[in-house]
Structure 1
Amino acid sequence: MNTWVDIKVYPNKLDPSLMEPCKCKVGSTLHQWLTENVPAYYESEEPLFTVLINKQILLPTNWKTYQFKAWDDVNIIVEPKEPATIAYAVIAVIAVGYAVYTANQIPDNYNSTTPDGSSIYDVNTQGNKPRLMGIIPEGAGRHKIYPDYLTMPRREYIDNEQWLYLMLSVGVGRYEILSNEMFIGNTPTTSYAGDIDIQVFEPGENVTGHEAFRNVYTSSEVGSTSGSTGIELKGRVTSTGGDNGSYEYSFAGDELLVHYVEWDAELGRPLRFKSVPPFSVGEVLSITGSLNGQNDGYFELLNKDSDGSQVNKVDGQSQDDPTWTSFVTESTSSATVIVEDGGGDGQFNGPFFACPAGEVTDKLWFDFRLPQGLGELDDDGNFLSRTVTVQIEYRAEGAQDWTAVDDEVFTSSTNDELGRTVPVTLPSKIRPEVRVKRATAATDDTRIYDDIFWTALKAELNSATSYDGLTTIAIKIRGTNALAGTAENKFNVIGTRILPVYENGAWSAPRPTTDIAPFFAHVLKSAGHSDDKIGLESLNTLHPIWHGRADEFNAVFDSESTVFEVLKRVLAVGFAEPTIDYGKITPVRDQKRTIFRHMYQPDNYVGMLKRSIKLMDDDEPDGIEVEYFDPVTWKSETILCLLAGDEGANPEKIRAFGITNRDKAYQFGMRKRRIRRYRRTRFDFKTEMDALNSKYLDYSAVADDIPGYEQTGTVVGHVGRSIYLDNPELKWQTGQTHILALRKPDGTLSGPYNASLGTESNEVVIDADLDFTPVLDGSIEPPLYMFGISTRWCNGVLIKDIKPSSTNQVSVTAELDDERVYLDDDSPAPTTTSITIPNIYF
């Protein structure tokens, strides 16, 4: 059995294609259904719509008694108010929100930085990064921040331990950063006592007191990344072939052939392999040099190309001897040949430029690493001391001669990894070329540990000694295993912005604050506006309201925006918007109002008042899903905001930029949801210059000339509390409280006053003395009035837009206010509707 009856609502009698479908329970009366579902419904002697049941008119006298049947065909048709004027939307059948976003809607993205930076709002990109040619972030309130690189990270060996230096920018302005609110990843830096040194510098403070201030360039040619092994410094190699083999050498013409002879125990004889260790097997070398006997002496080995031409001459100590023609042909196993491979005494590694083209320096660092330690095992397993010497030379760009620095000597007896950073100070600033070689001979003896690598070449460029307008952090971190994987790009802080606060008519000393008002004023002042361009009076009024409600603005701006867009974001969390009022940028809060500022009625309209209501749309969202930033996890979370009857299956998604509190996110979303549902009636009208008295979001009384609403006109007389009106046929309703409101000469509303019938038909007696003296001599326009019962004497509206359309006409748009909009402004969030957004959401 069908328990519902269909109701069709036609807002325009002349256009039957416009229809809103609704449902009502069988057995209900029309009066019950209207009372439950239509917020604007009231009983009237002249209804604004006609009801048809099975194509027969249902008289208003039967609305409370007739019960709907399952087979009824119910039609509600809005009637014309008068010829040529249609009341398009008087019935608000189901109270749903506007489908169109208002101007102060939070954008559907947090920030979009170009170039990419360390945006806190994208968990996939959180980290310390350079922000070349980008926007310097600016924090508001209390928020997590990943500071950006001011100089590139650099490493340095100190006492065989690697330390990392970071110079970072927290952001524009001053911040309170507590020692227990600095982190590497998610671990407080206080957990690394002794392994980390941090110093916070205020804007403009000299930063040279910390070694991290240096702007150091690391050459990519040597090995600039933390995982690079660098360049192995290979020395001269002396080898006899070991216990199981030996080398034999053949000299013939200009060729040296080297053979390795290995003893094979199974065959009982040696095996001869043609090879040229430590060169490629079978490689033939040409040799030039000076002789000190038959074939004895020092020779410079040159690789021979396939066509016989000489290539890759090795740097050596001997000079070519043009008188030498060839070796004396000789085969011997007793010869000792010393060869060089990849550097060492006689061959440098490099040269490499220490800094980019166009830069100069007078400070260099060379990093060396001995991954197996340094020492020698004796036959008893004792670790003996061993020494390796490294030579460093430099020259200016374009110069011919090299300058040597003091040899760097490494001596130790350990198999623990060793590392050393060698600083070199140049006598003047140049663009240096550098080269490095190992001066100590190498060996293939497995009991000797002396491999050495050149891992980094660094040069100091021009370094800033202070940073005006920025809070900076200098960090020195010991490269322990616990820090190695995260220290370089996961350092973060929770900072609270320090700003002066305007309160009690004056600016206070700067202090840490999360309040809305201080940052609102700061945005304007930082844009160059002085106090006389800021609505300080309104700010002084709203600050204690926001502060008392714990409304805060906590955010980081790291993308381009306009001042006005930033102000809209800042004020939105306090249910407010920025406006320009007589040259001042002033905040205006949307809050519950009870005092009317101005009166507008047919006597000061130009043309007719137009009323429109947004009816139900099948695609409208049935809730609000608010995304906010959680202050514990510092990740995005959501909360669902629903009214009675909302299922939340198709919620509208908004982002509460600047909100880091779950209750505040819920209040923010519920305010949006209630506006969508209960502010659906819009008024459009024109006046002469009267409307220029009003301001954005002013609460004003608007009269409608629809029968059954308020009665309006002009005042014709005044004696004490007796007000005489131009209408001798005022409609008084038995048992109702009546209201009279008057318009003062400046357009503001006087009253409303409780009214009673006087001795004459046009006499109204008010319950208090007037707060102005009416002028009725014709020198100015007489006072206007609005009269009606207490629940329906005016439409309480919020002024949304005022546009002068000529020198003597102003267009006004207003919304009908509804006290239900504000009912969740202090409500705590429910406990079961929060979800964490996956990283991919962004």
Structure 2
Amino acid sequence: MSTQVEIKVYPNKLDLDLFESCIGFVGQTLDDWLKKNVPDYYEREQPLFSVTINDSHLLPSKWVTYTFKSNDDIKLIVEAKDPATIAYAVIAIVAVGYAVYTANQIPDNYNSTTPDGSSIYDVNTQGNKPRLMGIIPEAAGRHLIYPDYLTMPRREYIDNEQWLYLMLSVGSGEYEILPEEVFIANTPVKSYTGDVFYEIFGPGDDVSIHEAHRNVYTSSEVGSTSGSTGIELKGKITSTGGENNTYSYSFSGKQIIAFEEEYEPEIGNFKHRTALPFEEGEIVKIQYANNPENDGYYEIIDKNTQGNELKKLDGQYQEDTTWTGFVTESNSYAKVFTEDGGGDGEFNGPFFAVPEGEVTDQLWLDFSMPRGLGELDDDGNFQNRSVNILVEYRAEGALEWLQAPTILFSNATNDQLGETIPITLPEKIRPEVRVKRTTQASDDTRIYDDVYWTALKAELESATKYDGMTTLAVRIRGTNNLAGSAENKFNLIATRVLPVFENGVWSEPRPTTDIAPFFAHVVKSAGHADSKIGLEAIEALHAIWHERGDEFNAVFDSESTMFEVLKRVLAVGFAEPTIDYGQITPVRDQKRTIYKHMYQPDNYIGMLKRSIKLIDDDEPDGIEVEYFSPITWKSETILCLLPGDLGINPEKVRAFGITNRDKAYQYGMRKRRSRRYRRTRFDFKTEMDALNSRYLDYCALADDIPGFEQTGRVLLVNGRSIFVDDDGLDWQTGEEHILAIRKPDGKLSGPYNATKGSANNEVIIDDDLDFTPVFDGSIEPPLYMFGINERWCNGVLIRDIKPSSTDQVSVTAELDDDRVYLDDDSTAPSEENIVIPPIYS
């Protein structure tokens, strides 16, 4: 049995597919292994990595005593907390370096793809909508929002006025919403005094105190959420017996004949009788016949005037096969009701009040009387008139109908009337509901009694709170001023409330449009702790962004990855996200004067490769930036041109998150200047030296072009006298000279103003070195770069670091140019000063 054990080293906790395999031995302690295999390892109060053995966490206090066993699954996971820790101070230098490289290779697809359309940014679809199975929108900064429906809009008649209830989601998180920035379409809500009321609820607040929280389903068979005329409840045509009857019936066998009797005023009696057919398939209810055995429900199976054929029903729908026929009656004044179909005197429905699979115990029925309700007397005065409405319901599959309390409408007016009738059921069921008018209608033009059934509504399970999101409950009076715009044009301007990292601590949450707070929020909302955020970098950049007035104002309402979101958030501040030893850290592309590291031919492997991109004929000659106007809340564009640009073929760029014209111009000009002036690229290889650098580090790079810098090794340091390995330094008359020296960790010392010493290889610098050089052969001697003030190095930005083996790293760098930053604080030209390029045929 082998005495070796495998030790897996994971350089990046965010990617457990990447690890380096190392060898330990059975019986060896972790402390022994670290001291023998990691030269710069030492015990720290907070170790840079965690240890799990057989998926159990091993405390640092047991690293000295625990001994490896043959079947142990040993994992060392780098969790560096110190961003300044250099590569060779961590466990596995190659694996860690590769992790830094892979983490920085973030695909730049911000402007290479078109973002998904949304209800915010597509002016043609702006409006309130349900977001079924969709994500909850998340806003940053200050932005226009069309809240999404949490429940479907609901209308209700109160005191003969129609009110609209809306329960809306503002978005994920907490927001500040000012009263003057709440609108219906383009009109502030405050203009509708007494007509619009709303209440804002923070994440987790109890929303049940507002009537709008109810999750109410509106049956589409009766009316829709946008309102409709509804179903007219027509007058009954059945006979009630007595001297005023106009219908009589004869029952014989399995037939029924209906007679319409015409009254003759001259003789004071009914004279003419006409036989009438029923409708085939119609269900009739016979009541109060001369022979009670004839009472019940029947279905017409054949219609004619000589005798309509029927079959008897048990309940209503199942045929009673034991029925042998009617007890014969002639000219009976029984009551005969037609139960279904919605005609005169018939039931309207039945309609299910809730979708399949749902139940309820609360119904609402809306009725309207568009011409009012009353009767004009001979003097033109309105007299009272009443209408009775019968409502029946039953559970799905039940045979018997249950009757709700009779509804009575009574009034004396020709003003439009409306009323919502609540019906509480004794238990939760899936109810079928049917409605009919039991008061006979009149054709008299002086009588106003038209009644419409406009809505059937039922309450489903209703949420009482919404964790993690801000909601809005709205109650709107339906007036002519609001018309139909209120239902889907309710919008507002909200400012995100977030904590801000300042002076080393998080502040209390407050309204903010700053970039840094939302950047940190995105990282933390993905499940990462503060330890995974480069807080020092965040705090430093926050001060810069805030002073410049850089803001991020946007709404995310489509799916994305965390890094894609972070790229958008940081882009408006000229920054990008990187991962540095497990910490997600923003790096800003800004003008720099202090060089981080030094690279020259003595630490290159092979030759330095320089490539320059020349301007071609098809290259865009400007940048057209699209941004969101905070005045119109619609997209606008601005053209960004350099001297000589015609703007005929501009590159189109979307400045997502920018709502300021000046900032959009600065954003576009930075891109335009980068395209124009950053055209030189350097590629080179080092041993492990390049792993010292980070993405966008500003470094000093030497090349071998004659007349530029000279490089080599330092042989001796005596105070401010630096002796180098070249006796032929090129001292140019009348020029100021510079000397820069490389420290053991790769960082640049200096640059120092240099003067010629007494010896040919002696350079005297104007300040003391900020490190102590070592010349005993234990480490590489310091390297130097020498040249005149304007040509002693190439100032480059590190763009790519890629380990290609255990002793070789490939680097890509870009020559920086101060002209890139010249418009970072510029004001956008006024509209009248923008030159529109000519259009050529």
Write out per-residue CA displacement over residues 641-679 of structure 1, whole angstroms, 9 at most, x where no aligned residue.
000000000000000000000000000000000000000
Shift of 1:326: 6.4
Write out per-residue CA displacement over residues 602-630 of structure 1, whole angstroms, 9 at most, x where no aligned residue.
00001110000101111100000000000
Checking the alignment, whether the CA contact within 8 Å between 2:795 and 2:816 is kept in structure 1 is yes
Shift of 1:484: 2.1
Specify the alignment match of 1:18 in structure 2. none
The 2-side partners of 1:398 and 1:250 are apart by 32
CA pair 260-337 structure 1, distance change in 2 beyond 3 A: farther
Specify the alignment match of 1:244 in structure 2. none
Specify the alignment match of 1:412 in structure 2. 411
Specify the alignment match of 2:348 in structure 1. 349
Checking the alignment, whether the CA contact within 8 Å between 2:284 and 2:337 is kept in structure 1 is no
CA pair 529-312 structure 1, distance change in 2 beyond 3 A: farther
The 1-side partners of 2:296 and 2:397 are apart by 32
The 2-side partners of 1:635 and 1:343 are apart by 49
Query: In the alignment, does 2:447 pair up with 1:448?
Result: yes
Write out per-residue CA displacement over residues 509-533 of structure 1, whole angstroms, 9 at most, x where no aligned residue.
0000000000000001111111111
Specify the alignment match of 2:208 in structure 1. 208
CA pair 227-362 structure 1, distance change in 2 beyond 3 A: closer
Checking the alignment, whether the CA contact within 8 Å between 1:236 and 1:340 is kept in structure 2 is no
RMSD in angstroms over aligned alpha carbons?
3.6
Letter of the structure 1 residue corresponding to residue 452 of structure 2 = F
Write out per-residue CA displacement over residues 207-228 of structure 1, whole angstroms, 9 at most, x where no aligned residue.
0110000001111122224342
Checking the alignment, whether the CA contact within 8 Å between 1:301 and 1:313 is kept in structure 2 is yes
The 2-side partners of 1:607 and 1:417 are apart by 92
Write out per-residue CA displacement over residues 521-574 of structure 1, whole angstroms, 9 at most, x where no aligned residue.
000111111111100010111111000000000000011111011100000000
TM-score normalised by structure 1 residue count? 0.78
Write out per-residue CA displacement over residues 69-97 of structure 1, whole angstroms, 9 at most, x where no aligned residue.
xxxxxxxxxxxxxxxxxxxxxxxxxxxxx
The 1-side partners of 2:401 and 2:669 are apart by 75
The 2-side partners of 1:301 and 1:517 are apart by 74
CA pair 824-313 structure 1, distance change in 2 beyond 3 A: farther
CA pair 672-731 structure 1, distance change in 2 beyond 3 A: same
Q: Which structure 2 residues correspond to residues 320-469 of structure 1 after superposition, within 5 A?
A: 322-324=326-328, 347-469=346-468
Q: Which structure 2 residues correspond to residues 240-255 of structure 1 after superposition, within 5 A?
A: none
Query: In the alignment, does 2:512 pair up with 1:508?
Result: no
Specify the alignment match of 1:125 in structure 2. 125
The 2-side partners of 1:754 and 1:227 are apart by 83
The 2-side partners of 1:364 and 1:195 are apart by 26
Query: In the alignment, does 2:558 pair up with 1:559?
Result: yes
Letter of the structure 2 residue corresponding to residue 223 of structure 1 = G
Shift of 1:399: 2.3
The 1-side partners of 2:517 and 2:285 are apart by 82
Checking the alignment, whether the CA contact within 8 Å between 2:628 and 2:635 is kept in structure 1 is yes
Aligned to 1:190, what secondary structure does the other structure show? helix
Specify the alignment match of 2:829 in structure 1. 830
CA pair 371-108 structure 1, distance change in 2 beyond 3 A: farther
The 1-side partners of 2:257 and 2:307 are apart by 12
Q: Which stretch shows the higher mean deviation, 393-402 or 126-135?
A: 393-402
Shift of 1:133: 0.5
Q: Which structure 2 residues correspond to residues 479-628 of structure 1 after superposition, within 5 A?
A: 479-628=478-627
Shift of 1:235: 2.1
Checking the alignment, whether the CA contact within 8 Å between 1:288 and 1:301 is kept in structure 2 is no
TM-score normalised by structure 2 residue count? 0.78
The 2-side partners of 1:164 and 1:834 are apart by 49
Shift of 1:436: 1.5
**Unaligned 5+ residue runs, structure 1?**
1-100, 240-246, 263-272, 329-334, 836-842
Specify the alignment match of 2:153 in structure 1. 153
Shift of 1:776: 2.1
Aligned to 1:521, what secondary structure does the other structure show? helix
The 1-side partners of 2:296 and 2:814 are apart by 101
The 2-side partners of 1:380 and 1:693 are apart by 102
Letter of the structure 2 residue corresponding to residue 632 of structure 1 = I
The 2-side partners of 1:258 and 1:173 are apart by 70
Aligned to 2:123, what secondary structure does the other structure show? coil
Aligned to 2:787, what secondary structure does the other structure show? strand
CA pair 786-206 structure 1, distance change in 2 beyond 3 A: same
Shift of 1:405: 2.2
Checking the alignment, whether the CA contact within 8 Å between 2:627 and 2:664 is kept in structure 1 is yes
Q: Which structure 2 residues correspond to residues 311-326 of structure 1 after superposition, within 5 A?
A: 322-324=326-328
Aligned to 2:135, what secondary structure does the other structure show? coil
The 2-side partners of 1:669 and 1:492 are apart by 30
Specify the alignment match of 2:116 in structure 1. 112
Checking the alignment, whether the CA contact within 8 Å between 2:128 and 2:489 is kept in structure 1 is yes
The 1-side partners of 2:603 and 2:285 are apart by 112
Specify the alignment match of 1:134 in structure 2. 134
Checking the alignment, whether the CA contact within 8 Å between 1:397 and 1:433 is kept in structure 2 is yes
Specify the alignment match of 1:58 in structure 2. none
The 2-side partners of 1:336 and 1:432 are apart by 31
Write out per-residue CA displacement over residues 338-389 of structure 1, whole angstroms, 9 at most, x where no aligned residue.
9979659974222222111211111110111111110111222221110001
Write out per-residue CA displacement over residues 389-418 of structure 1, whole angstroms, 9 at most, x where no aligned residue.
112222222222222222111110111111
Letter of the structure 2 residue corresponding to residue 200 of structure 1 = I
CA pair 508-251 structure 1, distance change in 2 beyond 3 A: closer
The 1-side partners of 2:673 and 2:596 are apart by 24
The 1-side partners of 2:813 and 2:145 are apart by 42
Write out per-residue CA displacement over residues 441-477 of structure 1, whole angstroms, 9 at most, x where no aligned residue.
1122221111111111111010000000010000010
The 1-side partners of 2:436 and 2:179 are apart by 45
The 2-side partners of 1:610 and 1:311 are apart by 100
Shift of 1:771: 1.5
Query: In the alignment, does 2:672 pair up with 1:668?
Result: no
Specify the alignment match of 1:682 in structure 2. 681
Q: How many residues align?
A: 703
Specify the alignment match of 2:731 in structure 1. 732
Aligned to 1:482, what secondary structure does the other structure show? coil
CA pair 287-743 structure 1, distance change in 2 beyond 3 A: closer
The 2-side partners of 1:369 and 1:569 are apart by 52
Aligned to 2:800, what secondary structure does the other structure show? strand
The 1-side partners of 2:219 and 2:703 are apart by 79
Q: Which structure 2 residues correspond to residues 161-176 of structure 1 after superposition, within 5 A?
A: 161-176=161-176
CA pair 371-808 structure 1, distance change in 2 beyond 3 A: same
